[in-house]
Amino acid sequence: MGQSADVNSGQNGRAEDSSQAPAVPNAAPNSIMAIQDFLTWLRDEKQSSSHTVSAYSRDLTAFFKFLIEHLGKLADVEDLAALRPGDFRSFLAHRRNDGLSNSSVARALSVLRSFFRHLERTGQVTNTAIRSVHSPKLPHSVPKPLGVEAAAAAREQIAFLHEEQWVNARDYAVLTLLYGCGLRISEALGLNHADIGSGASMIIRGKGNKERMVPVLPVVREAIESYVALCPFGMERDDPLFVGVRGKRLNAGIIQKSMREVRRALGLPETATPHALRHSFATHLLSAGGDLRTIQELLGHASLSTTQRYTEVETSHLLDVYRSAHPRARR
């Protein structure tokens, strides 16, 4: 296969493109100022990623668009202060009717809560009605990692998808980094050449610009060095490490597309995504005796409860082994 998909996928900048300001919802002037203040606070004070800021902006845009129909006018801050629980519930029902899943509806409510907390904290609007609105129940989700052999096969397969050798080396290096260091795809593609260094570890900037140190296994460093040696574009310290065919920072969609081709070739389930390799990193560490606190630090989880989900994966695996191997269980 060629690399034409890389060209046609809008490869035009950073994986998280901070050059484009998020869209501001259609609202009354004083509400627009409040929204801009909130988004600026997210970016500058809370140090949220541009991806997060854009996602918040999209949910607020949907909310204020709903208010135009719901109130019959552009919503101003006085309207925001007067909203009642039923108004918020109507918005959530509207989003559900738009086809959003419960998790997306819950995220929209979380964005609104954060927005109204900011309005109250900054003395712009006080509205306690949103506090009485309950989030939709979400199904309990368990990470879906790949097995050790499947993770290895995916990395090997992705190294033979394209005609250009350097592109194959790039994609192999990305997957090796995700699986070998447990990075999020945005963290891997956000790396610059200087971030890799030459030591046994590197500093990763995760969610909220929080930094953590992760070890770099020899196989990971070898994969990256092989890619760098083949890459036809310059590698100054501040240049992006992973680039597309135009030399711009690689877009996550390119790796996701390649992973879909890997799934088809190997017969892997749809859950075999780039992010599944991060799940695999954690699950395989846990299986090998890694402790939860260390895995939490390596993954950059703010809460240990997030990391504890991987114990459920391990328990499920043990039960499957028990059922298939125990003489009494097989009766």
Cβ atoms < 10 Å from Cβ of 27: 25
Block residue for tokens 């203040």: 37
Asked which of 132, 157, 174 is the last residue of a domain, the reply is: 132
Considering the entire predicted model, what is its pTM? 0.58
Show pLDDT as tens, one digit a residue, over the chain (331 residues). Answer: 444 344 333 333 334 343 355 667 789 999 999 999 999 999 888 877 777 888 899 999 999 999 999 999 999 999 999 999 999 999 999 998 988 888 888 899 999 999 999 999 999 999 999 999 988 875 555 556 778 888 889 999 999 999 999 999 999 999 999 888 888 888 899 999 888 877 788 888 877 677 888 888 899 999 999 999 999 997 788 899 999 999 999 999 999 999 999 999 999 888 888 888 888 888 777 766 666 667 676 776 666 665 556 555 554 544 454 344 444 544 4
Domain that residue 281 falls in: 148-325
Query: 210 and 237 in one domain?
Result: yes
Query: 100 and 65 in one domain?
Result: yes
Query: 105 and 186 in one domain?
Result: no
Asked which of 104, 132, 160 is the last residue of a domain, the reply is: 132
Query: 244 and 128 in one domain?
Result: no
Asked which of 76, 98, 132 is the last residue of a domain, the reply is: 132
**Residue 142 domain flag:** no
Q: Helices 252-266 and 274-287: crossing angle, nearest 10°?
A: 70
CA-angle at 181, arms to 175 and 182, nearest 5°: 80
Give the residue numbers marked as catalytic. Answer: 184, 207, 275, 278, 301, 310
**Residue 190 domain flag:** yes
Query: 178 and 268 in one domain?
Result: yes
